[in-house]
Chains A and B, each alone.
Chain A
Amino acid sequence: MTATVAPFPDHALAGISPEGIAPKAPPPPGLAVAAPLPDVIPARKRRGRVWTYVRRNPTIVVGGLLLLIVFLMALLAPWLGTVDPTALAPAKRTRLPSAQYWFGTDMLGRDVYSRVVYGARVSLLVGFSVAFFASIAGLAVGLVSGMVRWLDGIVMRIVDGMMSIPPILLAIALMALTRGSIQNVIIAITIAEIPRVARLVRGVVLSLREQPYVEAAVTTGTRMPAIIWRHILPNTLAPMTVQATYICASAMITEAILSFIGAGVPPATPSWGNIMAEGRALWQVKFYIILFPAIFLSTTVLAVNLVGDGLRDALDPRMAKDV
């Protein structure tokens, strides 16, 4: 799984130098001093504001744009010059990229370009579904564990146990239980990711539980659901959202690895992972079968990671040190 850390944001360092912030010396007497600024400063033009935002947060903008492009590609797949991605034509197998087959054909004569474009759907679906479901389930487990003290010990032991099994092995083992399909891949990867979210949420809940305003709320008789809703949840949102983006990126790579091993989505439905897995034996002679899905997958995962980094910088730079 990929990590859940991000670089320290650039702008937070502005104004700090090794020399420290030296106090301003008062101007020597007799020196002319500039007139003070007027009280009302006219608003900057709109264009300037957007450009400043982009300059200050390049990661989230670049990542977001890339992601939007991929998302649009997946949505508009049928209209992007694609053919049926499952149409076999064994007589035209392994043709190099050409005007007719933009990315070439694979071992069964299927058009690689169409498969890559439609594959975006599966990869995005897997990524976002896993992020969503793992977050919800992890939130539930973490809340229960943090709020209900006597359950905390048991639940955390189980979570620790699950976290001890390397996630890829867990996902492969779960896939071995059933047959390959998108749903099963999503379920398997989700289960492997839940423990980390649960730990994160529990951490937040535990730290919040001791806060004075929460204690006050309890003392004045506020009911548990209200406490959760008003005080706890808003504070979990930020770290959970950042974590969710990293889970999304990690899930897409895990899907590719599952397909590589042969335990992923069956090739009738193209996903970037299984296009690469099918073409891997031929990579020395027909490298394009691996090349194009690899480029798309790497770019998308990169974009998601950048968005996650940007979100973290915006929401809470201190999270950069946590894992």
Chain B
Amino acid sequence: MDRRTFLKGSAALGLAAPQVAMPALAQGAKVLRFVPQANLANFDPIWGTQYVVRNAGTLVWDMLYGVDDQLKPQRQMVESEEVSGDKLTWTFRLRPGLTWHDGEPVLSKDVVASLTRWMARDPIGIMIRGVQDELAATDDRTFRWRLKKPFPKLLYALGKTNAPMALIMPERIAKTDPFTQITEYVGSGPMKFVRNEWVPGARAVFEKFAGYKPREEPNSWLAGGKRILVDRVEWVIMPDAATASAALQNGEVDWWENPISDLVPLLRKNSNLNVDIADPLGNVGSFRMNHLYPPFDNPKIRQAVMAAMSQEDYMRAIVGDDDSLWKKLPGFFTPGTALYSEAGGENVGKGDIKLGQKLLKEAGYKGEPVICVVAQDQPITKAQGDITADLLKQMGFNVDFVATDWGTTGTRRASKAPPAQGGWNMFHTWHAGADTINPAGYPAVRANGDKAWFGWPNVPPVEAGIAEWFDAADPASEKAAIDKVNAAACEGVVYVPTGFFLGYQAWRKTVSGIVKGPIPFTWGVSKA
């Protein structure tokens, strides 16, 4: 066999290899090309809580309720609901004519199965399950939920944007074990997932579902009519920000979920592009200390770090030179929302190194090593990690900087072992502002010791305040409870907030209908 034949043979082999099916696009079909924040590697929004999975999930599956841009839950799949006088029995009636992508009608037994699976994974769902007496379908379009204690936030829980969202799936899919991924992606949402064109890590394709009946009301976040104005939506995954930027400028993609802020001036200059804030609820940066082992088992040392850190440094490292993109955050709740509190936050992020050094000495730091785990492949954690390493060095800590990846960070932070034996003293992360509005769906602010989030803070006044919030009947008592939570969390340093920051999104001028929100909502978006 000579070289030419070999090459021809391999060419035939390679090009004839089983490949992704290509679409037979109708003439003039409108395709929206979107660059998501991350790779869509799996597609089970109950099992996988990554933001990108949640965002994709909202296209394919629908919900009983959906919050609007005021975070008030509005009816979506539900036509009407009734609550008994003692607030213990809820009866829901589904809208008529709801169908799955395969044509079957949506029945209340599907809803019951979906909610059961969701409650196994969602923090609020677990609480609801704790007070649940019975959840059952009474007929094809009605189901009833009986509780042992009133749960005023039930509708909010059903309509919230934080993952995992209460998405409704067919019964056969919802019966999958909550800790195993689903394998079928059929829903009743406004778009169908085109499974055979999915290349994990490179592309995901959604097609308009002709049988979807949007509500009459105008759309507002997850509420109202989810009208899809294009024929196809293609998610193009691009790990290289420079490439994504070039592609957007060249018109090869239409909408970029999160351009890095340093590239925004370049995109703004381009007359074919629009650039605006992506989510007014923003993000909260954070680093967490391990309360179980020295030196951070000593609250005074934690407070020393919190006083010495400068939120401006962290925020500049993350968002760059644009001052309109960040704010100081002397607390743990999202600025601009009803429960935002600055109680007890005077010492947060003062940037006073001298004070920090003094407090450190007073606290009796004996030179124990600090194992600081930093994921290099996430720009936000990487930027924060660099600042922290510098901060700790200046304060006089004995720092062991472990540069690793997000995956390994995920493993290591779960370990309760002593730091020197595979554990850790400090790691970095961040939360979407939509997740830090209130203690519901905000495990990172809990301080119930062993059951808390990684770091395992144990600060009883925080827990007391949270319990008070859950029982609060009116906004005033909610705010009072949250002030208590905030002050106690600052005192005990549940974690150290590094600041509040916003991100941008960018899209071509040929695209219209893009709104700001915690999820890149595709309904209402059209392309010229």
Direct contact of A and B (CB under 8 A): yes
A97 at the interface (CB under 8 A from B): no
B-side contacts of A107, CB under 8 Å: 262, 317, 320, 383
Q: How far is the CB of B499 from chain A (nearest CB, A)?
A: 12
> Looking across the interface, which residue of chain B has its beta carbon closest to that of A281?
B241
Docked-complex contact A180 and B265, CB < 8 angstroms: no
B side interface size, CB within 8 A: 31
* B403 lies within 8 A of chain A by Cβ: yes
Does the CB pair B262–A180 fall under 8 Å?
no
Closest Cβ–Cβ distance, residue B263 to chain A (whole Å)? 6
Q: Indicate which residue in A86, A87, A94, A283 contacts B242 across the interface (CB closer than 8 Å).
A: A283
Among A90, A180, A262, the residue within 8 A (CB) of B316 is A90
Distance between A18 CB and nearest chain B CB, rounded to angstroms: 29
Q: Is the CB of B266 within 8 A of A179?
A: no
**Are the CB atoms of B404 and A179 closer together than 8 Å?**
yes
Check if A284 is an interface residue, CB within 8 A of chain B: yes
| Per-residue contact bits, chain A 249-291, to B (CB 8 Å; 1 contact, 0 not) | 0000000000000100011100000000000111111100000
User: Separation in Å of the A246 CB from the closest CB of chain B?
Assistant: 26
Known contacts A90-B316, A90-B317; is A108 also within 8 Å of B386 by CB?
Answer: yes
Q: Check A88 against B321 for contact (C-beta < 8 Å).
A: no
Could you tell me the distance between the alpha carbons of A281 and B383 in the complex, rounded to whole angstroms? 14
Shortest distance between the CB of B393 and any CB in chain A (Å): 9
CB distance from B105 to the nearest CB of A (A): 48
Contact A284 B316 (CB under 8 A): no
Q: Are A93 and B263 in contact (CB under 8 A)?
A: no
Query: Contacts A179-B404, A268-B401 hold; do A282 and B316 have CB atoms under 8 A apart?
Result: no
Number of A-B contacts (CB under 8 A): 76
Whose C-beta in chain B lies nearest to the C-beta of A178?
B404
| Interchain CA distance A285-B265 in the complex, whole Å | 9
Query: Roughly how many angstroms separate A268 CA and B393 CA in the complex, as a whole number?
Result: 12
CB distance from B327 to the nearest CB of A (A): 16
A283 to B317, CA, bound (A): 17
Q: Which B residues are CB-close (under 8 A) to A262? A: 376-377, 405
CA distance A281 to B376 in the complex (A): 14
The minimal Cβ–Cβ distance linking B421 to chain A, given in whole angstroms, is 16
Q: Known contacts A93-B321, A268-B389: does B313 contact A284 (CB below 8 Å)?
A: no
Interface of A is mostly: loop
Residues of the B chain whose Cβ atoms lie less than 8 Å from the Cβ of A286: 262
Over the window 312-331 of chain B, the binary record of Cβ atoms lying under 8 Å from chain A Cβ atoms (1 yes, 0 no) is 11101100110000000000
**Given known contacts A262-B405, A268-B389, A281-B262, A88 and B313 CB-to-CB distance under 8 angstroms:** yes
Nearest CB in chain B to that of A89: its residue: B313
Asked whether any CB of chain A lies closer than 8 Å to the CB of B334, the reply is no
Q: B216 interface residue, CB < 8 Å from A? A: no
B381 within 8 A of A: no
Q: Is the CB of A108 within 8 A of B263?
A: no
Interface: B464 (CB within 8 A) = no
- CB contacts under 8 Å to B, within A81-129, are 86-88, 90-91, 93-94, 107-108
CB of B412 to closest CB in A, whole Å: 10
Given A90-B317, A266-B403, A268-B389, also A285-B383 (CB < 8 A): no
The 0/1 profile, CB within 8 Å of B marked 1, for residues 10-49 of chain A is: 0000000000000000000000000000000000000000
7 nearest interchain CB pairs? A266-B403, A90-B316, A281-B241, A90-B313, A88-B390, A180-B403, A90-B317
A→B interface (CB under 8 Å): 86-88, 90-91, 93-94, 107-108, 179-181, 262, 266-268, 280-286
